[in-house]
Amino acid sequence: MRKIKNFKINLRVKEILRVVKKLRNVADLSVELEETIQRHCRLYFKFLSPSVVYDVFSKDALPFIYEQDAPSKWIAESVFFVTIGNGLYEEYKKNEGTFGEHTGKIVSAIAVDALEQSKFFVQRLISNEARDENCEISRIVDVPRDLYREFAKVIPIDKIGISIESEDVSPKYSTCGLFYWIPSKKKAKR
């Protein structure tokens, strides 16, 4: 099991702008709103606390099988939980009425991008580990929320402050996923 807390992520402002456009269902944003989004990114960035906990399991080691989008010759899987913490949501709730009508959409877009960047971080870590074992990893497979409890039985989510009560996950901006390990094809010697 590996745990990493407070790793560095870079918010992609252009991606956040794209998400806000989609949430608002508009083709373009005003210059003022784009500037507001950039200010929010700088303000809310300091409230992100990305953390991940993950582990690698051989094909037969898990007490349950989840083979959604599994490649045919996988030999192991890395299961992870990642969160950006409660700070972003708590700060937003504290200042909800202060920053204007679009703040909720902007904060949601920031959270989505921060989680995506956190998943890319995990992917790089696991890819390096797999390469050391002469394997490649599959694309990320997002685990449905109704299975989080099963995966939490094998991954100590409390180590990064995640809890699951009924179907609710806390912190709100947390996710679970996995990567399948596939043996690398041997390169022919010349």
**pLDDT of 80-94, one tens digit each?**
999 999 999 898 888
Q: Say whether the peptide bond before residue 171 is cis (omega within 30 degrees of 0).
A: yes
Q: What are phi and psi of 78, to 5 degrees?
A: -105, 125
Output the pTM of the full model. 0.87
Q: What are phi and psi of 134, to 5 degrees?
A: 60, 40
Q: Is the pLDDT of residue 53 over 90?
A: yes
**25 pLDDT tier (thresholds 50, 70, 90):** confident
What tokens were used for 105? 């959409």
**186 pLDDT tier (thresholds 50, 70, 90):** low
Residues 34, 17 contacting (CB under 8 angstroms)? yes
- Residue 5 β-bridge partners: 51
Residues 52, 122 contacting (CB under 8 angstroms)? yes
Q: Is the pLDDT of residue 189 over 60?
A: no
Residues 80, 156 contacting (CB under 8 angstroms)? no
* pLDDT average, residue stretch 50-71: 85
